[in-house]
């Protein structure tokens, strides 16, 4: 995250910190700067005491962003642990929200099938509720995530910059499937644990409010639930080498994928990929398909449920017969998992209004 932090510092944070927390000797600091050390000081582990002689070196060999005078005019310089923590929190929260709204909105308007609105298990005001849950959770999830990013920036992770710094040449390619396999394995067991009766109602139930999710449900979690399922992504670079730009690319990919498996467009009829169809089985029937990227661990763990063939043909996917069958089975399972169903569905709400009008 030191690359992202350097970009944020250069274009946003330097000016803001210089104005909000000006240094008494800012003008002297500006004259005495030497361009040597890292902008984010990811390799330094000192405290937060500002220093008049701190200096700059790009966080990556791929590009360099010359800092403006504002970089040296704050009582909190770029290597301040307090400044880094605050900046990373803002980046995690606001960048996460921007990415969520851009990707989920694009998926909602261009991919998601709006015929889902007439499904008997689609909730009243569901999109608004999904967005509200996300907006409430994101700030808290960002607080919990920030310490990991801060530790990365301060040099405790095994992130490397140049491909030549990889353990061996082929590792630059192997890091991607290794990341997917490790995180998929960990998330499978975390997700499955979240379905334990002692945990489910306290943490994971809010995400299962959405029986027929839209792309906006992708980040609509209880904050501790969302953070817990993201832990493997943050732990990985502390255990295994990972190239910095690859890490940023994977971070963006994870957000794309999370939206993809909630978009209801069942294009991946694959025995390997845990696509939207597999994940829809999970939202409908709860105790199946816990995996994030693949079906491997569900198959080994005995929790894999193959999506019905009808889901891959629009005529049957959106057919009344298929929906009624889904609703009957879901109602039976929800009694076992949750007890009384507290959701308010569009169809039930409309029936209630009609009954009131006839009285």
Question: Residue 304 domain-assigned?
Answer: yes
Listed in order, strand segments (DSSP E) in 149-299 are 159-160, 242-243
The residues, any chain, with a CB within 8 Å of residue 48's CB and separated by 6 or more, are 76, 80, 81, 82, 83
- The Cα 29–Cα 33 span in angstroms is 6
Q: Is the pLDDT of residue 355 over 50?
A: no
- Residue 282, φ and ψ in degrees, nearest 5: -65, -45
Q: Is the pLDDT of residue 144 over 90?
A: yes
pLDDT in tens, 61-72: 898 898 999 999
Question: Residue 319 domain-assigned?
Answer: yes
Residue 29 confidence (pLDDT): 43
Average pLDDT over residues 247-267: 90
Residue 34: pLDDT band with limits 50, 70, 90? very low
Question: Residue 244 domain-assigned?
Answer: yes
- The Cα 232–Cα 215 span in angstroms is 23
| Cβ–Cβ < 8 Å for 47, 80 | no
Residue 213 confidence (pLDDT): 94
Question: Residue 159 domain-assigned?
Answer: yes
Q: Is the pLDDT of residue 91 over 90?
A: yes
- The Cα 133–Cα 119 span in angstroms is 21
- The Cα 17–Cα 22 span in angstroms is 7
The residues, any chain, with a CB within 8 Å of residue 181's CB and separated by 6 or more, are none
Q: Is 240 helix (H, G, I), strand (E, B) or coil?
A: coil
Higher pLDDT, 312 or 52: 312
What average pLDDT does the chain have?
87
Q: Is the pLDDT of residue 315 over 80?
A: no
Q: Is the pLDDT of residue 220 over 50?
A: yes
Residue 317 confidence (pLDDT): 75
Higher pLDDT, 5 or 349: 5
Give me the domain span that covers residue 347.
114-357
Sign of the C-alpha dihedral, residues 277, 230, 157, 150?
Answer: positive
Report which of 162, 164, 166 is spatially closest to residue 176, judged by C-alpha positions.
166
Question: Residue 126 domain-assigned?
Answer: yes
Report which of 96, 95, 41 is spatially closest to residue 71, judged by C-alpha positions.
41
pLDDT in tens, 253-262: 999 999 999 9
Question: Residue 72 domain-assigned?
Answer: no
- The Cα 137–Cα 123 span in angstroms is 20
| Cβ–Cβ < 8 Å for 6, 27 | no
Average pLDDT over residues 57-85: 91
| Cβ–Cβ < 8 Å for 91, 13 | no
Residue 266 confidence (pLDDT): 78
Sign of the C-alpha dihedral, residues 29, 35, 38, 44?
Answer: negative
Tell which phi-psi region holds residue 112, choosing left (phi > 0), alpha (psi between -120 and 50) or beta: beta
The residues, any chain, with a CB within 8 Å of residue 5's CB and separated by 6 or more, are 39, 40, 59, 84, 87, 88, 91, 153
| Cβ–Cβ < 8 Å for 127, 73 | no
DSSP 3-state percent helix, strand, coil across the chain (nearest 5): 65, 5, 35
Residue 100 confidence (pLDDT): 94
Higher pLDDT, 359 or 294: 294
| Cβ–Cβ < 8 Å for 331, 102 | no
Question: Residue 37 domain-assigned?
Answer: no
Average pLDDT over residues 315-337: 86
Tally the domains of the chain.
1
Question: Residue 178 domain-assigned?
Answer: yes
């Amino acid at each position: 995250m030191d690359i992202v932090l350097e970009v944020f510092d250069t274009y946003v944070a330097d000016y803001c910190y210089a104005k909000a927390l000006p240094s008494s000797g800012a003008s002297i600091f500006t004259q005495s700067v030497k361009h040597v050390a890292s902008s984010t000081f990811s390799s330094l582990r000192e405290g937060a005491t500002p220093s008049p002689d701190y200096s700059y070196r790009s966080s990556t060999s791929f590009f360099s962003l010359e800092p403006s005078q504002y970089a040296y005019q704050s009582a909190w310089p770029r290597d301040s642990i307090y400044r880094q923590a605050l900046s990373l929190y803002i980046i995690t929260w606001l960048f996460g929200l921007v990415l969520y709204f851009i990707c989920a909105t694009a998926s909602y308007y261009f991919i998601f099938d709006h015929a889902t609105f007439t499904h008997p298990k689609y909730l009243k005001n569901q999109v608004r509720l999904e967005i509200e849950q996300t907006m409430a959770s994101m700030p808290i999830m960002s607080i919990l995530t920030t310490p990991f990013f801060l530790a990365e920036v301060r040099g405790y992770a095994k992130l490397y910059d140049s491909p030549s710094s990889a353990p061996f040449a082929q590792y630059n390619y192997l890091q991607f499937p290794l990341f997917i396999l490790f995180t998929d394995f960990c998330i499978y067991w975390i997700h499955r644990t979240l379905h334990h009766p002692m945990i489910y109602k306290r943490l994971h139930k809010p995400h299962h409010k959405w029986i027929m999710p839209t792309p906006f449900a992708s980040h609509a979690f209880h904050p501790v639930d969302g953070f817990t399922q993201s832990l493997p992504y943050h732990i990985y670079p502390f255990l295994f080498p990972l190239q910095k730009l690859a890490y940023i690319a994977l971070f963006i990919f994870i957000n794309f994928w999370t939206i993809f498996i909630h978009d209801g467009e069942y294009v991946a009829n694959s025995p390997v990929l845990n696509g939207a169809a597999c994940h829809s089985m999970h939202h409908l029937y709860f105790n199946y398909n816990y995996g994030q990227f693949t079906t491997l661990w569900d198959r080994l763990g005995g929790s894999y449920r193959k999506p019905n063939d009808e889901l891959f043909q629009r005529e049957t996917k959106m057919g009344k017969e298929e929906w009624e069958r889904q609703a009957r089975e879901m109602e039976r399972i929800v009694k076992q998992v949750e007890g009384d169903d507290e959701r308010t569905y569009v169809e039930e709400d409309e029936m209630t209004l009609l009954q009131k009008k006839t009285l």
